[in-house]
Chains A and B, each alone.
Chain A
Amino acid sequence: MDTGGTIPEPPAAPDERDRPRVGVDEWVAKVEERRETHRGLAGVAHRILRFVPPPARLALFVVVAATLPLWMGRGDLFAYGIFTLLYVLLGLGLNVVVGYAGLLDLGHIAFFGFGAYLYALLSSEQYGIHWPATATVPLVVAATALLGLLLGIPSRRLLGDYLAIVTLFFGQAFVFFVNAANPTVAGKGLTGGPNGIADIDPLSFFGYELASRKQQFYFLLLAVALILTGLHFLSESRTGRAWRALREDPLAAEAMSIPVNRLKLLAFAFGAAIAGFTGCIFASVLTAVTAGNFGIPLLITIYAIVILGGVGSLTGVVIGAIVINMSFQFLAPENPQDNARLLFYSLIILLLVLTIRPLWKLAAVFGGVVALGVVVERLVDALAPSWTGGVVVEGGRLAGAVGHWVIIPTGHGRFANVAYVSLVAAVLLLTRLRGNARIVALVPTIYLAAVVWETSFVEQPAVARWILFGALLVSLMTVRPQGLLGTPRVEIV
């Protein structure tokens, strides 16, 4: 073929995202994947992590966590410390099923609930049985593992999303059984119905009771450390490698004579065992369990932790739990709103600093936002004073500055709603713009965000934190689909 002496270029990819082209060598195809892992802040994290070996990471985590009770109040220790560790444990259990074995298990919370209820039955006033934890915990773990096996058996025939549905049913069935069915055993409702089981004993090992929050926290920390170590060895072992093979390509794994069915059952059992253990601790910390503790919202949170941290990565689960629970608790209504406000503005500033490259553009945006705010506020104050009559809710340290910058109307009920919808539209529009247009559009959008924050979000912080959580999930996933520490996967055609 005569092409005039030049060799034609290979055709460009159909869109701007790099995709492996048909017929190209696999190592070459993985170039993008390797580059992705090293890009940006997460890349820095990756490199640090590679530098620090797992035992050192664990030691660092334990040491930092152990200092928490020294500077956190009791309430904060409970919300930030104990609950983060509980989420870590739950995430680790789910990680075994979803991350190691690749099974989409939407009923995992049922194991957690089963463990909690069984512990409650054995250590509370319900039937007057008060076994010490040295007896109940191993029993509960074994029973939950058995339940995991039982669930795994019929699930072997099901693939992918069908497994998801059956496990989801199982989860829902457990909640209904416990809440509504509540069969009468030995004269009493077994699970206490909607009231649940109350007055659960704290964990007691050889007479030593874990009654105070500090003791519970340290016990949890110990448990997390031990389980992390165990899982690390498990993941490096033959079973762990077999699981990874199963996750990557079940057909190829079977062709390599890996006992796929047995592995699936093992994954279920292991994940269930960890969940059951967490259930014991949960029941003893809360001292009462009801069906409402084990619903879908918790399932979603745990999935978010595992996936955001990076499926299959132990450090990822820990970091995911810390990030999600900490931010959730930080934005809680019980936390004075001036703290949340500080976080909000710091995050905006940080985001700007991270994404705008030349320094002068950054300065221009900052200046623009401040100037816009002050100008608008003065104008509106002069023309229609009722539109700036509002008070900065729980102002604290920033009340004065914010009050002169943001317009907060009183008596105009619809304004907050309109501002909110406009903000959503503005943010979506922002993602479509490029270059200088984007930078210019940033200025009013940021001001609008501040207005929405001051008028709606601080008034209803409980709702606002869910909205921010949802937005966080979407943006984190679109920016980094493989999670913080997961490996990006590239499909070969």
Chain B
Amino acid sequence: MELPLAFDAQLFIQLTVNGVTLGSLYALIALGYSLVYGILKLLNFAHGDVYMVGAFIGYGVLTALGGPLSLDIALVPLIVLMFLAAMLGSGALGVLIERFAYRPLRDAPRLAPLISALGVSFFLQNSALLLLGAGFRSYDSFLLGSNQPELFVPGPLVDPVFVIHGVNVQTIQVVVLSVTVGLMVALTLFVARTQLGKAMRATAFDREAAAMMGIDVDRVIASTFFIGSVLAGAAGVMFGLLFSQVFHLMGFLAGLKGFTAAVVGGIGSIPGAMLGGLLVGLAESYAAGYVGGRWSDLFVFGILILVLLVRPSGLLGARAINKV
């Protein structure tokens, strides 16, 4: 463990920028977990694999339109297309999973949907392995859109938009951040203002009563899964654009972190998921930067366990009231 001797502002800012970017990704995944848990009290372990499918759909669009080094269309419409395709595809997949793997288990003991989710996860991961092979697929985001990719001239995605204290904030980081903020604002408005959002809140509060009030619970649950999966699909494409490499097991790792973020922020709470994601991203970034190497992951876990021990229902989680 090597701690810096003096407070290095540049390092701190670099790590903060990294952490916020990473945190946005985790927050989007965590939102999917929280939404589903709020309504069904189900931990959807297949959510990470929906994210993986989104990333692969984005890759598919990229390859269909010429591949990273020889694009057929301009960069901006390409990115928009990738996002749209991945979001719609993931959303559809989420609805399918709910329909076939979770709906029959709606009244089952709590552990049955868990196993079903794990089964779906295995199925998705290994289907990707069967269909596409084990190799990493690259978005090549460093060179994407570059006018001279053979000479390794970086593309516009990594160009700095602005520089703070000597730290480059890249275009792609700004894009990721703004899309995340936009999606979260849209989600919050949706849940607070629209009728479907109100129905979702009602169903999350008390499913039986909502059914009695005439709310179509099946449709509400399907919409919840759709929204959660759309966010995951967007996160998948963002991951590809930020870090280039997509592979069949990426959902497992990210899903674990997203799940952690959801719980730390208070599972079932939307602002909690956002906050939790940010916290996990920042913790990971600072730990890797300051602690480094062997102890960094342990450090992250330590922080998170501490949070949970101090506030057992998460940062913004509702205090569980047991009605007798």
Contacts and interface: CB of A to CB of B under 8 A. Distances in A.
A and B in direct contact, judged by CB atoms within 8 A: yes
Interface of A: 14, 17, 19, 98, 104, 154, 157-159, 161-162, 164-166, 168-169, 172-173, 176-177, 180-182, 251, 296, 300, 303-304, 307-308, 311, 417, 420-421, 424, 428, 431, 456, 460, 463-464, 466-467, 469-474, 477-478, 481-483, 486, 489, 491, 493
A177 B260 CA distance: 19
Contacts of B111: 98, 104, 303, 307, 311
Nearest to A493: B208
B9 interface: no
B263 interface: yes
Contacts of B119: 469-474, 477
B260 A165 contact: yes
Contacts of B104: 478, 481
17 contacts: A157-B309, A159-B320, A169-B301, A180-B297, A303-B115, A303-B118, A304-B118, A420-B127, A428-B100, A463-B130, A466-B125, A467-B127, A470-B118, A474-B116, A481-B109, A481-B112, A482-B109
Contacts of A460: 130
Nearest to A472: B119
Contacts of A470: 118-124, 126
Contacts of B108: 477, 481-482
Contacts of B112: 307, 477, 481-483
Interface of B: 37, 43, 96, 100-101, 104-105, 107-109, 111-116, 118-127, 129-131, 208, 211, 252, 256, 259-260, 263-264, 267, 293-295, 297-298, 301-302, 304-305, 308-309, 312-314, 320, 322, 324
A458 B96 CA distance: 28
A17 B305 contact: no
B297 to A, nearest CB: 5
Contacts of A17: 107
A349 to B, nearest CB: 24
Contact of B107 (A19, A472, A483): A19
B122 A466 contact: yes
Contacts of B126: 463, 466-467, 470
Most A-side CB within 10 Å, residue of B130, B252, B320:
B130
Nearest to B260: A165
A473 B118 contact: yes
B305 A169 contact: yes
Chain B interface secondary structure, helix, strand, loop or mixed? helix
Given A172-B301, A420-B127, A482-B109, 10 more contacts: A162-B308, A165-B263, A172-B297, A304-B118, A467-B123, A470-B121, A473-B122, A481-B105, A481-B108, A482-B112
Nearest to B130: A463
Given A19-B107, A158-B312, A181 B295 contact: yes
Contacts, number: 144
Nearest to A308: B115
B96 A428 contact: yes
A105 B124 CA distance: 25
B271 to A, nearest CB: 18
Nearest to B107: A491
Contacts of A251: 322, 324
A400 to B, nearest CB: 27
Given A481-B105, A482-B109, A489-B109, A14 B211 contact: yes
A162 B263 contact: yes
Contacts of B259: 165
Nearest to A460: B130
A431 B294 CA distance: 49
B304 A464 contact: no
B100 A161 contact: no
A440 to B, nearest CB: 21
A166 B305 contact: yes
A478 B101 contact: yes
Most B-side CB within 10 Å, residue of A181, A420, A472, A473:
A473
B291 to A, nearest CB: 11
Contacts of A424: 127
Contacts of B301: 169, 172-173, 176
A307 B115 contact: yes
A177 B296 CA distance: 11
Nearest to B252: A296
B105 A477 contact: yes
Contacts of A491: 107
B312 A157 contact: yes
Contacts of A168: 260
Contacts of B211: 14
A463 B129 contact: yes
For the complex of A and B, list the 8 residue pairs with the smallest distance between their C-beta atoms, beginning with the closest: A473-B119, A470-B122, A481-B108, A470-B123, A474-B119, A481-B112, A466-B126, A477-B116
Nearest to A306: B111
Contact of B309 (A154, A456, A493): A154
A473 B108 CA distance: 15
Contacts of A308: 115
B131 to A, nearest CB: 5
B29 to A, nearest CB: 15
Nearest to A301: B118
A478 B105 contact: yes
Contacts of B313: 162
A474 B119 CA distance: 5
Contacts of A431: 100
B298 A181 contact: yes
Nearest to B293: A180
Contacts of B109: 311, 481-482, 486, 489
B122 to A, nearest CB: 3
